Amino acid sequence: MSQTLADGSLIKPGTVPDGALASTFVKPVRQVATSGLATGGGDLSADRTINVPKAAGTDVTAGTDDAKAVTSKALSDAGVTAAAIAAKVPSSRNVNTSGLATGGGALSSDLTINVPKAASTDVSAGTDDTKAITSKALHDSGVLSGSGMQVDTNTSATATNFTVGTYLLVITAIAGNGTCISYSYNGPNNAQSSAVYVANSGSPYTYTTISAGGLSALSGTWRARGGLFILPTGNSPFSYVLMQRVA
């Protein structure tokens, strides 16, 4: 004869050994709880479903969803395969530099590669072999560029700033006019630097290496590139020097 339990369920004779009911069956109020990535569950008064949501390849790529489990297909869809992993560059790989480039290092952090650039003064000096020259440095230095030799375009008789590379004929001693009967040089030595001045007004010469009142110094560094000593008949000697702006 069947037995009826308190919850109304029937147990047929012979299906459960005597005395085993309490250890074999659970009450319908027993709960199946979930945590972590699992959802669902509940008491046993009805069938329950436990769900673990799975991530798509786009979830793996985004890397922002921590509520889904990743499957091997999701990894593959995101490009995370054994072959792809094997093809990755290790963080210990180095980026080395040589020549004008400096910086670099291991790929364990962001790297910066630097190639220092030369200023126009570096181009004019011609002594620094650790910097790269740009077109602007060439232009500002006055050396040959795409449009040819740089030519100063000043139109003022009292200008004080000239393009690097400009040559000026500069007087180094004052004398009267006369016929040249002999010559030799008596001024700054070749390649020697000297300040150059321009007369603001009232002078018989335009540029000079002689510092005096009413004169304005020219900008930059000027070097002698050759000179001339003139001895006029019956007058005091005077000399000229060809000066070049080099910086």
Residues 37-64 pLDDT 10s: 999 999 998 999 999 999 999 998 998 9
- Comparing 181 with 214, the larger pLDDT belongs to 214
Query: What is the pLDDT confidence band of residue 211, given thresholds at 50, 70 and 90?
Result: confident
Number of domains in the chain: 3
**61 and 122 both lie in a single domain:** no
Q: Is the pLDDT of residue 177 over 50?
A: no
135 with 200, same domain?
Answer: no
Query: What range does the domain containing 130 cover?
Result: 111-150
Please name which of 163, 189, 162, 178 lies closest in space to residue 231, comparing C-alpha atoms.
Answer: 178
Q: Residue 156 domain-assigned?
A: no
Task: Please list the residues that pair with 146 across neighbouring strands.
Answer: none
Distance CA 218, CA 221 (A): 9
Kindly state whether residues 71 and 115 are assigned to the same domain: no
Q: What angle do CA 235, 240, 241 make, to 5 degrees?
A: 160
Is the pLDDT assigned to residue 189 strictly greater than 80?
no
Across 188-199, average pLDDT: 81
Q: How confident is the model at residue 19 (pLDDT cuts 50, 70, 90)?
A: low
In this structure, are 130 and 171 located in the same domain? no
Read off the pLDDT band of 147 (50, 70, 90).
Answer: very low
Does residue 120 form part of some domain?
yes
Same domain, yes or no: 174 and 223: yes
**94 belongs to a structural domain:** no
Q: Is residue 47, in this structure, part of any structural domain at all?
A: no
52 in a domain, yes or no? no
User: In this structure, are 63 and 123 located in the same domain?
Assistant: no
Assign 135 to helix, strand or coil: helix
Q: Is residue 46 part of a domain?
A: no
Residue 182 is assigned to a structural domain of this protein:
yes
Domain assignment of residue 199, yes or no: yes
* Beta strand spans in 34-186 (E): 39-40, 42-43, 50-51, 94-95, 102-103, 105-106, 113-114, 167-171, 180-183
